[in-house]
């Protein structure tokens, strides 16, 4: 229910002026303090037309306003504060949630169109670190939100399985590697070799030339290079999939950079045929002066491809294959310039669909204020963090509810959920420092706090033997107290919150909303004897059930599970 629309309708019916209802709606405000009403109308907008002071207009208009859903009005200077009919509005909102169930908040923006989402994309032969968390969980949440508003999300893991770093790794393995060590502990061993390569290359730059040489051999199909590369890739994917299972993240495609190798020449030929390629100091470029960007380097002087060459092939393949309505790249903020160049080259090539491509940048996760770096060995392994979070959750469950059945399962849901939620409650462009002990807390603005509020609500429903999924036409939704109405108004915001999260590609909008809803419910729980046997018992239980539906749906959009007992 659109509460502002109720008020806009009432004002429109009371005015005999050339003022559109949409104009009234646009200036309506939600007061910060509930004592100032549910919706406020600033009368400044009428002053010029009526040639009166806003205060006088407010006094006159307030005497004539009435309408369905309007309880009372109060004048506060130039404002008219509207207090809605709590019983009527509560009944309408709760009926809407019950009738729609899991589809509450569902929007029909997408019409089933495809949206490709490039997310996670770890590099082969390197461990998944905390640095990979953001792309993975932001991309997954955006995919869930896209589905909620009517699109068909296609999750793509664009693996970093190509590039000069593989030439460097081959050199490192041939110089210092051991087949037995790699078989025993693949990722740790490969990381050790990769770090050692860069340490040695800082002393001897010729190693970098050797690495580039071996990557060129890999591009040319050298049997030894290809065999080592495939081995590194297979071992890495086993590790990655174990971590994705912990996070509850699934992909539709694992099409990494190497997948597009046979399309690279087609990209070069297309750009050449369109007269876009130029030579610059032996390299092949596309000039982007008209976009105020540096030239896009398409081929190195030795003919080797670059990231942008493969990303051009990737973009064209995805458009041809999926005919996407949107193509989303959940990739760090440091790649913003790259995506500007990518879209500029596609535009020069005549591909108007580049406007449907959206880079969704995000800030860094730091540890102790320092950037994480695989290259320098300053890495916090994602799997270690998830395991530690689960252990912390289990310790707290043991102290709070030692008799809880399936403690291990709940500890996993709480621990992993805490890590995901902490990432997503931060505005994605912000950089934040990760401190595990602050993340896995049952108090404060955390994932476990929201999960616990939901579990508390389920506990109330179990005690009452209330099953909202079996609601009948006679279900009662009549509540009249202010604290309950605050919860109802919070629930009512969910569809607009989903829309805002979609429009801004910002999962934190939903995370902050469920924190607010959990806080509002906990205030209601502290204020109200919910299980008191009186005429409003069934209505109170209806409200509690509605809270569980919206909290669980909000958490699900973030990729966080919601245990019913904690």
* pLDDT tens sequence across 100-134: 988 999 999 999 999 999 999 998 888 888 889 99
- Asked if residue 475 has pLDDT above 90, the reply is no
Mean per-residue pLDDT for 232-241?
Answer: 90
Gap between the Cα atoms of 505 and 22, Å rounded: 26
Gap between the Cα atoms of 185 and 364, Å rounded: 28
Gap between the Cα atoms of 543 and 541, Å rounded: 5
77-91, 440-454, 459-473 — which is least confidently predicted?
459-473
Percent of the chain with pLDDT over 70: 98
At 470 the pLDDT is 77
Mean per-residue pLDDT for 265-291?
Answer: 97
Gap between the Cα atoms of 535 and 549, Å rounded: 24
Residue 428 makes CB contacts below 8 A (sequence gap 6+) with: 134, 138, 360, 361, 362, 363, 505, 506, 507, 508
Gap between the Cα atoms of 419 and 77, Å rounded: 47
Helices H / strands E in the chain, number of each: 22, 13
Q: What is the C-alpha end-to-end distance of the chain, expressed in Å?
A: 33
- Residues 406-463 have pLDDT tens digits of 999 999 999 999 999 999 999 999 988 888 899 999 999 999 999 999 999 999 999 9
At 153 the pLDDT is 98
- Asked if residue 217 has pLDDT above 70, the reply is yes
At 472 the pLDDT is 64
Mean per-residue pLDDT for 531-558?
Answer: 96
pLDDT higher at 472 or 44: 44
Mean per-residue pLDDT for 466-471?
Answer: 82
Sheet bearing 365-367, strands edge to edge: 370-371, 365-367, 432-433
Please state, rounded to an integer, the average pLDDT across all residues of the chain: 93
- Asked if residue 375 has pLDDT above 60, the reply is no
At 340 the pLDDT is 98
Burial call 449-483: b when 16+ CB within 10 Å, e when fewer: bbbbbbbbbbebbeebebebeebeeebbbebeeeb
- Asked if residue 564 has pLDDT above 70, the reply is yes
pLDDT band at 380 (very low <50, low <70, confident <90, very high): confident
User: Which whole-number Å values give the CA distances from 201 to 126, 165, 558, in the listed order?
Assistant: 18, 13, 42
pTM comes to 0.91
Chain-centroid distance of CA 388 in Å reads: 23
- Asked if residue 347 has pLDDT above 80, the reply is yes
pLDDT band at 389 (very low <50, low <70, confident <90, very high): very high
What would the two tokens of residue 201 be? Answer: 């290359």
Gap between the Cα atoms of 41 and 28, Å rounded: 5
At 377 the pLDDT is 52
Which of these, 132, 198, 211, lies nearest to 168 by C-alpha position? 211
The β-bridge relationship of strands 326-330 and 114-118 is parallel
What would the two tokens of residue 73 be? Answer: 């009005």
Gap between the Cα atoms of 278 and 296, Å rounded: 10
User: Which whole-number Å values give the CA distances from 205 to 168, 198, 202, 209, in the listed order?
Assistant: 12, 10, 6, 7
- Residues 173-185 have pLDDT tens digits of 999 999 999 888 8
Please tell me the class of the 114-260+314-371 domain: alpha beta
**Count of CB atoms situated within 10 Å of the CB of 53:** 14
Gap between the Cα atoms of 41 and 325, Å rounded: 38
Angle, to 10 degrees, between the axis of helix 206-219 and the axis of helix 223-247? 90
Backbone angles phi, psi at 420, to 5 degrees: -65, -45
- Give the three-class secondary structure for 438: helix
pLDDT band at 378 (very low <50, low <70, confident <90, very high): low
- Asked if residue 238 has pLDDT above 60, the reply is yes
At 326 the pLDDT is 98
- Dump strand ranges (E) for 27-113: 39-42, 70-76, 79-84
Q: What is the DSSP string of 288-302?
A: -GGGT-PPEEEE-TT
- Dump strand ranges (E) for 402-535: 432-433
- Residues 5-28 have pLDDT tens digits of 999 999 988 887 666 778 899 999
What would the two tokens of residue 402 be? Answer: 């030692």
Given a contact cutoff of 8 angstroms between Cβ atoms, the answer to whether 218 and 166 are in contact is yes
CA angle 388, 565, 138 (to 5 degrees): 50
Domain boundaries along the sequence of the chain: 3-84, 114-260+314-371, 382-558
Please tell me the class of the 3-84 domain: alpha beta
At 463 the pLDDT is 97
Helices (H), 252-381: 264-273, 307-322, 336-348
Gap between the Cα atoms of 247 and 145, Å rounded: 17
Question: For the structural domain made of 382-558, what CATH number should be given?
Answer: 1.10.730.10
Gap between the Cα atoms of 505 and 119, Å rounded: 13
């Amino acid at each position: 229910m659109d509460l502002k629309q109720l008020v806009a309708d009432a004002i429109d019916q009371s005015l005999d002026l050339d003022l559109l209802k949409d104009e009234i709606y646009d200036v309506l405000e939600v007061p910060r303090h509930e004592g100032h009403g549910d919706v406020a109308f600033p009368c400044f907008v009428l002053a010029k037309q009526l040639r009166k002071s806003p205060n006088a207009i407010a006094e006159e208009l307030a005497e004539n306003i009435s309408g369905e859903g309007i309880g009372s009005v109060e004048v506060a200077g130039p404002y008219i504060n509207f207090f809605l009919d709590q019983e009527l509005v509560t009944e309408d909102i709760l009926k809407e949630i019950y009738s729609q169930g899991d589809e509450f908040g569902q929007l029909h923006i997408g019409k089933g169109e495809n949206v490709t989402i490039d997310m996670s994309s770890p590099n082969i032969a390197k461990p998944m670190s905390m640095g990979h968390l953001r792309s993975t969980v932001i991309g997954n949440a955006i995919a869930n939100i896209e589905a909620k508003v009517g699109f068909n999300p296609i999750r793509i893991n664009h693996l970093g399985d190509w590039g000069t770093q593989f030439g460097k790794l081959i050199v490192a393995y041939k110089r210092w590697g051991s087949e037995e060590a790699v078989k025993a502990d693949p990722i740790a061993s490969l990381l050790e070799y990769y770090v050692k390569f860069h340490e040695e290359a800082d002393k001897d730059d010729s190693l970098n030339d050797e690495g580039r040489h071996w990557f060129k051999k890999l591009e040319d199909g050298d049997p030894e290079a290809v065999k080592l590369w495939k081995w590194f890739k297979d071992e890495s994917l086993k590790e990655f999939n174990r971590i994705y299972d912990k996070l509850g993240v699934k992909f539709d495609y694992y099409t990494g950079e190497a997948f597009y190798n046979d399309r690279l020449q087609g990209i070069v030929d297309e750009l050449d045929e369109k007269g876009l390629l130029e030579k610059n100091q032996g390299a092949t470029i596309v000039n982007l002066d008209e976009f105020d960007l540096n030239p896009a380097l398409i081929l190195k002087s030795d003919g080797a491809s670059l990231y942008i060459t493969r990303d051009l092939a990737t973009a064209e393949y995805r458009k041809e294959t999926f005919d996407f309505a949107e193509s989303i790249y959940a990739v760090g903020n440091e790649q913003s310039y790259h995506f500007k160049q990518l879209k500029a080259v596609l535009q020069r090539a005549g591909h108007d669909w580049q406007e449907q491509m959206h880079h969704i940048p995000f800030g860094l996760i730091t540890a102790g204020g320092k950037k994480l770096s695989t290259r320098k060995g300053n890495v916090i392994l994602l799997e270690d963090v998830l395991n530690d979070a689960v252990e912390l959750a289990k310790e707290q469950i043991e102290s709070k509810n030692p008799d809880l059945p399936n403690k291990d399962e709940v500890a996993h849901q709480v621990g992993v959920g805490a890590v995901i939620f902490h990432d997503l409650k931060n505005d994605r462009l912000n950089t934040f420092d990760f401190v595990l002990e602050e993340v896995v807390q049952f108090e404060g603005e955390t994932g476990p706090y929201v999960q616990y509020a939901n579990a508390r609500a389920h506990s109330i429903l179990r005690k009452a033997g209330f099953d909202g999924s079996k609601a009948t036409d006679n279900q009662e939704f009549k509540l009249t107290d202010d604290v309950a109405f605050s919860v109802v108004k919070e629930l009512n915001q969910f569809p607009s919150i989903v829309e805002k999260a979609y429009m801004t590609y910002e999962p934190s909008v939903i995370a902050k909303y469920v924190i607010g809803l959990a806080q509002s419910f906990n205030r209601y729980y502290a204020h109200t004897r919910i299980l008191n046997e009186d005429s409003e018992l069934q209505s109170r239980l209806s409200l509690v059930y509605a809270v569980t539906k919206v909290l669980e749906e909000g958490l699900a959009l973030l990729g966080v599970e919601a245990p019913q007992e904690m």
